[in-house]
A and B are shown apart, each in its own frame.
Chain A
Amino acid sequence: MGRFVALLKRPLTVAIAAILVLLAGGELLSPGFASPRQIVTLLTIAALLGVVAAGQNLVILGGREGIDLSVGGIVSFAAFLAGNIMRQSDANILQALAVVFGATFMIGTVTGLGVTLLRIPPLVMTLGMLGVVQGGLVLLTRGVPSGRAAPLLSRVVSDPVLFGLPGIVFIWIGVGIALTLVLRRTAFGFNVYAIGANEGAATLAGVPARRTRMLLFALSGFFSGLTGVLLLGYTEYVFVGAGDQYMLPSIIAVVIGGTSLAGGNGGYSGTMAGAIVLILLQSILTTLNIPPFGRQIIFGVTLLALMLLYGRQRRLRG
């Protein structure tokens, strides 16, 4: 019985329950909402958010107020870069991927250096980095969208591969499996949890805290880069601020998924569920033809309600 209650209280369980309730509710309110086609679309959009949130998840797990506000800017930057290198030609894909992943990994590394060597709080460092990336993007694009996805990329991302699901969903599942394995079955993963839980003790236990933390930010840059490429594949060409929409939702997805913002506790499976919950919620509000202000209010209230379920902090009184 106690075990059952504990299972019910697990964020992942709550998130999955929320998904089912939202799907059922959506179907009730607007028949066809939970149709297979609709679900595929939802999963595709959720995958984009989910991959950004993977990086966000890592940074948050590493603790010390870990958070990455630069993800949105990097997504836009990566999409721009990829589109301009590909220019609708399949031949340029590998080159584009190499440049994008290299560049975004580097941006993340610079953030990581600021956080570890200069000890700048992540919130501030990534906020500053966001300004730089956005400013750089304006300089490069002159505010005009440019570049287009290679056809192969668009096909891989959007076309059904298996069971009618598009490639992006499998890429997301692949990210999910890889990240979960890394976190649970590798020394790096153990180190991430260790520095998230108690950096001082972890360092004295021989954990390379600095290197690990730097890598977390670099990986967050990489995942934002991957999202930029996927976004480009999904929409074929990308406007300048396309990635901005991911900044705060990526954090929310992580928190809804049960990863503590204090670090050291949580995992990626919950975050995946969290991303789906967020997208479902937004989608229901859109299908219901509620005016934008109403959508916003309901969205905010629902977030608060989810916090009430399990996003609460420890009592001060034992």
Chain B
Amino acid sequence: MPVLEASGVRKQFGGVVALAGAQFALEAGEVHALIGSNGCGKSTLCKIIAGSVAADAGRLALDGRAVSFAGPREAAAAGIRVFYQDLSLIPQMSVAENIFLGREPRRRNGLVDRRALRTAATAALAEFREVLGAGIDADARVADLSADQTQIVEILKVLAAAPRIIIYDEATAALDRNQVDAVFARIRALKAEGRSIIFITHRMDEVFEIADRVTVMRNGMTVMTSATRQTTRDALVTAMVGEAHASRTTKARHAPSDETALEVENLASDKLLGVTFALRRGEILGLGGLHGQGQSDLLRALFGALPIRAGTVRIGQQPLVLKGPRAVMRRAVAYISGDRARHGVMAIRPIFENLVVSLLARERRVVVARRRLEAIILPIIERLKLKFASLDATVSELSGGNQQKVVIARWLATSPMVLLLDDPTKGIDIQTKQDLYATMDELCGHGVSILFHSSDDEELLAVADRVLVFNGGRIVAQLSGEQRTRFALYRAAYATGDSDAGA
């Protein structure tokens, strides 16, 4: 008998069907991967299991007994805890306070035992000490942590409740390889204790590495469940996409020229220590390495969104003054972040407004001429295959992948010559990724140059013409041609001293 069983689960948000009768069964002591493209309903299904979303219809059973949770509190009481993709941490509170939120150690008089709280949190952190990096302890504010550290704190928070069913919704999205290994080690230990785990990921490798079984969802329905050992990567992708095999690697058609498009010399900031490189016209230059080694900081600094201390940047022959996004974008530079909610979309506003806002800023016009703007926008969103009901619908009604397309289209409308892509495929389904690769290739063919940071190493190596490997705010290696291998990338990324750099 499964520990947890969901059947016939339906859920509609406004007019959008998120779940159309999903089935799911979780056995005791198994790691069960749940995969599918964005908007397929897997996150919604998990939130229903966790009580934070109410299902419209369907049956949920724990140990064979039907249950119905009024909220996350009841689900937690039943031993279910979720690693939320958007995290459930309180930024202003300390790591210790967050890990034990709602279950603080008490003294005999019922008051919170602050010392025990810190001790317990320090012990919890110790397990990941090797991979956590600097600047984190029980008293650190979550707001001051890096993205990967924050994710690990969320993982620890989930574990602190000692749940018997754990749902990891993209728990590894911001983690590097070492950190993923540490998390997987813990998951295996949990499994050995007989706990059951649902594991959502967009990284196929991880499915085969950690999961016993895998369930694929598409369009709000469960389309296949199989033992991981009895299936293949291609079979899963086919099930997800719903059509014939979609190849992951793209055949690049573009060819970079020798002309320099963007030149960066000795750029220094809080997180960057003298970065120098040149981006060629029509080139995709990858930025890789472990997380938070300065890749994002470089892109944001180049866009004028982070202050710099020193260094010069030139576009063509002209110096680029990094005064702010508006000054930079006037030089035909665009920045697209993978953090759509924070740095991408204005979710409650209509798609149209989201699409034209940069163009309006670029053109510095006063009056909005809708018809003229539509003439510019429509061909672009058609090319990007944006799926939408109406330009006046709000962006929040779109899936994550389509939201990202809106951000991309917004910038393509400004006809940029240099694109700064900051992990743009984070949390995006395979189909959208493929569309994005194709677009990038096409743009490069037209002479656009792209700086491409990705946390997905495989994608980075496949898409970029060259890869700059970052470590501690410096470029420690440059990989091009045949050197673009995982081995070379990891060797450079994990090198400690400057002298040991690969390449």
CB pair A188 B366 closer than 8 Å: yes
| Cβ 8 A contact of A201, one of B13, B51, B344, B367 | B344
A202 adjacent to chain B (CB < 8 Å): yes
B348 adjacent to chain A (CB < 8 Å): yes
Known: A200-B343, A204-B337. A318 touches B52 (CB 8 A): yes
How many angstroms from the CA of A190 to the CA of B349 in the assembled complex? Answer: 10
Known: A186-B366, A187-B365. A205 touches B353 (CB 8 A): no
Number of CB contacts from chain A to chain B under 8 A: 88
Question: Which residues of chain B from 311 to 359 have a CB within 8 Å of any chain A CB?
Answer: 325-326, 329, 335, 337, 342-349, 353, 356-358
A194 adjacent to chain B (CB < 8 Å): yes
B180 adjacent to chain A (CB < 8 Å): no
B248 adjacent to chain A (CB < 8 Å): no
A255 adjacent to chain B (CB < 8 Å): no
* Contact partners of B364 in chain A: CB under 8 A: 187
A191 adjacent to chain B (CB < 8 Å): yes
A185 adjacent to chain B (CB < 8 Å): yes
Q: Which residue of chain B lies nearest to A206 when distances are taken between CB atoms in the complex?
A: B361
| Cβ 8 A contact of A194, one of B52, B346, B366 | B346
CB pair B361 A187 closer than 8 Å: yes
Question: Which residues of chain A from 183 to 226 have a CB within 8 Å of any chain B CB?
Answer: 184-191, 193-194, 197-198, 200-208
Distance to closest chain A CB from B39 (angstroms): 15
A119 adjacent to chain B (CB < 8 Å): no
A264 adjacent to chain B (CB < 8 Å): yes
Known: A187-B366, A204-B305, A205-B357. A317 touches B54 (CB 8 A): yes
CB pair A197 B326 closer than 8 Å: no
Q: Which residue of chain B lies nearest to A184 when distances are taken between CB atoms in the complex?
A: B368
CB pair A204 B335 closer than 8 Å: yes
Q: Which residue of chain A lies nearest to B353 when distances are taken between CB atoms in the complex?
A: A190
CB pair B346 A264 closer than 8 Å: yes
| Cβ 8 A contact of B346, one of A186, A189, A193 | A193
CB pair B345 A201 closer than 8 Å: yes
| Cβ 8 A contact of A318, one of B47, B325, B326 | B47
Known: A190-B356, A264-B349. A204 touches B368 (CB 8 A): no
Distance to closest chain A CB from B53 (angstroms): 4
A141 adjacent to chain B (CB < 8 Å): no
Q: Which residue of chain B lies nearest to A188 when distances are taken between CB atoms in the complex?
A: B366
The count of residues in chain B whose C-beta lies closer than 8 Å to any C-beta of chain A is 36
CB pair A198 B345 closer than 8 Å: yes
A84 adjacent to chain B (CB < 8 Å): no
Q: Which residue of chain A lies nearest to B346 when distances are taken between CB atoms in the complex?
A: A197
Q: Which residue of chain B lies nearest to A189 when distances are taken between CB atoms in the complex?
A: B368
B83 adjacent to chain A (CB < 8 Å): no
CB pair A190 B345 closer than 8 Å: no
* Contact partners of B362 in chain A: CB under 8 A: 206
CB pair B347 A207 closer than 8 Å: no
A265 adjacent to chain B (CB < 8 Å): yes
CB pair A198 B13 closer than 8 Å: no
Distance to closest chain A CB from B336 (angstroms): 9
CB pair B305 A203 closer than 8 Å: yes
Distance to closest chain B CB from A210 (angstroms): 9
Distance to closest chain B CB from A117 (angstroms): 14
* Contact partners of B168 in chain A: CB under 8 A: none
CB pair B52 A317 closer than 8 Å: yes
B360 adjacent to chain A (CB < 8 Å): yes
CB pair A206 B329 closer than 8 Å: yes
CB pair B357 A186 closer than 8 Å: no
* Contact partners of A204 in chain B: CB under 8 A: 303, 305, 325, 335, 337, 343-344
CB pair A318 B53 closer than 8 Å: yes
B118 adjacent to chain A (CB < 8 Å): no
CB pair A205 B361 closer than 8 Å: yes
CB pair B365 A197 closer than 8 Å: no
How many angstroms from the CA of A207 to the CA of B348 in the assembled complex? Answer: 17
CB pair A194 B353 closer than 8 Å: yes
CB pair A207 B357 closer than 8 Å: yes
CB pair A206 B357 closer than 8 Å: yes
* Contact partners of A316 in chain B: CB under 8 A: 52
Distance to closest chain A CB from B58 (angstroms): 14
Distance to closest chain A CB from B387 (angstroms): 21
* Contact partners of B141 in chain A: CB under 8 A: none
* Contact partners of A205 in chain B: CB under 8 A: 325, 357-358, 361, 410
Known: A190-B360, A317-B54. A202 touches B346 (CB 8 A): yes
In this complex, which of A185, A203, A205, A265 has the most chain B Cβ atoms within 10 angstroms of its Cβ?
A205
Known: A191-B357, A208-B326. A197 touches B52 (CB 8 A): no
Question: Which residues of chain A from 24 to 65 have a CB within 8 Å of any chain B CB?
Answer: none
In this complex, which of A191, A197, A202 has the most chain B Cβ atoms within 10 angstroms of its Cβ?
A197
How many angstroms from the CA of A197 to the CA of B54 in the assembled complex? Answer: 26
In this complex, which of B305, B348, B367 has the most chain A Cβ atoms within 10 angstroms of its Cβ?
B348
* Contact partners of A184 in chain B: CB under 8 A: 368
B307 adjacent to chain A (CB < 8 Å): no
B71 adjacent to chain A (CB < 8 Å): yes
CB pair A194 B365 closer than 8 Å: no
How many angstroms from the CA of A189 to the CA of B353 in the assembled complex? Answer: 10
| Cβ 8 A contact of B348, one of A186, A264, A317 | A264
Q: Which residue of chain A lies nearest to B11 when distances are taken between CB atoms in the complex?
A: A318
**5 pairs of residues in contact across A and B, judged by CB atoms under 8 Å:** A187-B365, A198-B347, A201-B345, A207-B361, A265-B348
Apart from A198-B346, A200-B343, 16 more pairs, CB < 8 Å: A184-B368, A187-B364, A191-B357, A191-B360, A197-B349, A198-B345, A201-B346, A202-B346, A204-B325, A205-B361, A205-B410, A207-B361, A208-B326, A317-B51, A317-B54, A318-B52
Task: In the A-B complex, list the 4 residue pairs whose CB atoms are closest, starting with the nearest.
Answer: A206-B361, A197-B346, A318-B53, A187-B360
